[in-house]
Amino acid sequence: MFFDKKKEEKNESKEDDLKKEESKNLSTKISIERIKSKLGRSVDFACKKFNVNSNKDLPVSIIYINGLIDSLKTSEFILQPLAESETLKSAETPQEVIKLIEQGALYYSSQTKRDKEDDIIKDVIEGSVALIFEQESIAFTFDLKGFERRSIGEPSSENVKKGGKDSFVETLRVNTATIRRRIKTPDLIIEEKVVGRQSKTQLNIVYIDGITNMDIVNSVKKKIDEMDIDQVLSIGKLDEFINEKKYSVFPQVDYTERPDKFCSDIIEGRVGIIVDGLPMGVIVPTEFAKLLQAPEDYSEDSIIASLVRLLRYFLLISTILLPGFYIAVTTFHPEMIPSELAMSIAESKEGVPLPIFFEVILMLVAFEILVEAGLRMPKTISQAVSIVGALVVGDAAVTAKLISPGVVIVIAIAAIASYAVPNQDLSNAIRLWRFIFVILSSIIGLFGLMIGVILILFNLAKMETFGVAYLEPFVESETMQAGDSLIRLPIKFLKYRPNFLKTYNKKRIG
């Protein structure tokens, strides 16, 4: 490993040298041949030479990538005027043509003047049409993107009854437009970064100037600048680079495919990141309590929302602790179970060969198998498999006296409860911790369970993302704003933005 790294470093430095040489050459003159040698190796590259107004003195080249551009618009706005425009007819030298184009002889809004080959190539790859005057070493690029894109549809997993039905799509500009349509203040800043040595993915950082703390924005930018990887085609790549505590299973960023949730978080004083090609927004900093908030909470009555949220916390705790607790009381503290229940558990376990610990582990693993298989399976057969799975795990295992019914009930409650958590990443983290709790409590009972609770609290309390403690708003009693944590107070009581975000503008109401 160590030697490999050294070799790589050497290679990289060689590459850098090559780049420097190239850029020296490029700065001098634009050469179509060189561009062709770079892009022309692929079949979708197109390069056409023709003359302005069929005047042989005015040669011009047009290059683009097939499929990325809208060819109809290209001929209507670029090619047709070049051939027929009255204004261009007066031009006799290429310089005059360039001057006229700059003054608006070609009527297309997004037009950029370029004099470097690198910039031209970049624009062409992103879907522009380049008009090159080779002799003058000047080029114009027109943003004429025209590839197939998915239209804005309904969110697939975060559905709400009352609320917007749109969702993010794969196209970055469409997403930023969706955000702009919701936040119309000019203070909304959308900054661009390009990440990925090969993928050159555009990545936009969204925040509101005057609200969002710039320390958070700057550290997000710094983290993104530090990303030196091949590609950012999945959200996990970004996630792992942004996380401050690398090896924690608990999610430290929040994802959403709902523009309304994204926007309300931005207005609250958080920073959003949108990645080109990914139909979701990433929100940082994210604290634990935020992961248990669902978009519905703000569209329902506050009392109902509070009760639902309390239920969510209760289910979160029971999905982590219930299997461990069951093992602890049945194997170590039978005096804690109500007498009748203890007798009936004992009766139902009569003839089951395995200790309760193994039963629980077996059932948990069986459940994980069902979940994993259900994800990978083709939709047409998944139903049949899940029915068989449910029958085998539930009924048949009990009838065959492999598993006692009490364990089936406990695992079923724990498994269903884990899906009440709005954030799937959090629910996955909990699934892992559940095993830890099961093992601890099977060794020393409730004492082990408590050790596990202390461990998990210690783990969570240590975490911090972008200067915000993970357990906010519960970490400090003096400045605690618990109005939107365990419960959700009516909106008029939520007067201030969360103080841990250290926003410049603290009040959101009044």
Partner 1 sequence: MFSGCEKIVRGRIELEKTGFIRAAGFDKSEKNDDNVKLTFALKGKSSGGDAKQPASSGFSIITEEGKTLFDTNRKVRTFVSKNIFWGHLFFILIGEDAAKDDIVKYLDFVTRNQDIRLTSHVIIVKGTTAEDAINKIRTKDITITETLSSLVHNSGELSVASELELGDIIQMLDCEYACAYIPYIELNNKIKEEEEKEGKEVLEPSLLGYAIFKDEKLIGYINGGTARGANWVNNKGETGTTIVEDSKGKEICLEIISIKSKTTPEMKDDKINIKIEINMTSDIVEYEGREDIFKEKILKDIEKQQAEIIKKEVQSAIKYAKENEVDFLGIGDAVYHKYPIEWEKKYKDKWPSMLKNVPISVDVKTKINRTHNITQPTAMKEGNKK
Q: Which is nearer to partner 1, 351 or 378 (CB)?
A: 351
Question: Residue 118: phi, psi to the nearest 5?
Answer: -60, -45
Rounded to whole angstroms, how far apart are CA atoms 292 and 165? Answer: 21
Is the CB of 279 or the CB of 448 nearer to partner 1? 448
Beta strand 254-256 with 188-195: parallel, antiparallel or unpaired? unpaired
Binding mask 310-349 for partner 1 (x = CB under 8 A): --------------------xxxxxxx--x--xx-xxx-x
**Please, what is the minimum distance in Å from the beta carbon of residue 351 to partner 1?**
8
In angstroms, rounded to a whole number, what is the distance separating the alpha carbons of residues 135 and 439? Answer: 75
Q: Which residue number, 339 or 380, has a Cβ lying nearer to partner 1?
A: 339
Please identify which residue in 304, 444, 454, 482 interacts with partner 1, judged by CB under 8 A. 444
Q: In the bound complex, what is the minimum distance in angstroms from residue 314's beta carbon to partner 1?
A: 19
**Residue 199 binding partner 1, by CB under 8 A:** no
| Binding flag, residue 104, partner 1 (CB under 8 A) | no
CA–CA distance, 130 with 46 (Å, rounded to integer):
11
The token duo for 322 is: 């219930």
Whichever of 334 and 490 has its CB closer to partner 1, that residue is 334
- 205 vs 321, which CB is nearer to partner 1? 321
Interface residues for partner 1 in 353-392 (CB under 8 A)?
A: 355-356
**Residue of 155, 196, 445, 452 interacting with partner 1 (CB under 8 A):** 445
Q: Rounded to the nearest whole angstrom, what is the least distance from the CB of residue 356 to partner 1 in the complex?
A: 7
Give the binding-site size for partner 1 (rule: CB under 8 A): 25
Q: Is 405 in the site for partner 1 (CB under 8 A)?
A: no
- Shortest Å, Cβ 223 to partner 1: 43
First to last CA, the chain: 60
Enter the tokens of residue 13.
């430095």
285-486-422 Cα angle (round to 5): 60
Q: How much of the chain is helix, strand and coil, in % rounded to 5?
A: 55, 15, 35
Q: With respect to partner 1, which residue has the nearer C-beta, 398 or 489?
A: 398
Write down the least CB distance from residue 347 to partner 1, Å: 8
Q: Does 485 engage in binding with partner 1 (CB under 8 A)? A: no
Return d(Cα 35, Cα 278) in angstroms, integer.
Answer: 30
453 touches partner 1 by CB under 8 A:
no
Q: How far is CA 227 from the centre of its chain?
A: 16
Pairing relationship of beta strands 188-195 and 201-208 according to DSSP bridges: antiparallel
Question: Please, what is the minimum distance in Å from the beta carbon of residue 455 to partner 1?
Answer: 16
User: Given the complex with partner 1, which of 91 and 345 has the nearer CB atom?
Assistant: 345
- What crossing angle do the helices spanning 356-376 and 379-390 adopt, rounded to 10°? 170
- Whole-angstrom distance, CA of residue 37 vs CA of residue 24: 17
Output 79-86 pairs: Cβ under 8 A, ≥24 positions apart. Answer: 81/105, 81/106, 81/107, 82/50, 82/52, 82/53, 82/106, 82/131, 83/50, 83/52, 83/53, 83/54, 84/53, 85/53
**Residue of the chain from 52, 238, 283, 352 that contacts partner 1 (CB under 8 A):** 352
Among 241, 313, 447, 474, binds partner 1 (CB under 8 A): 447
Nearer CB in complex with partner 1: 403/463: 403
Binding status of residue 455 toward partner 1 by CB under 8 A: no
From the CB of 397, what's the least distance to partner 1, in Å?
17
Q: Which long-range contacts link 14-21 to residues 24+ away (Cβ below 8 Å)?
A: none
Single residue of 68, 392, 436, 446 touching partner 1 by CB under 8 A: 446
The tokens for 462 are 């240590």
Q: For residues 448 and 442, is the Cβ–Cβ distance under 8 A?
A: yes
| Stretch of 190-198, 311-319, 388-396, 445-453 contacting partner 1, by CB under 8 A | 445-453
| CA nearest neighbour of 190 among 221, 232, 222, 215 | 221
Binding site for partner 1 (CB under 8 A): 330-336, 339, 342-343, 345-347, 349-352, 355-356, 442, 444-447, 450
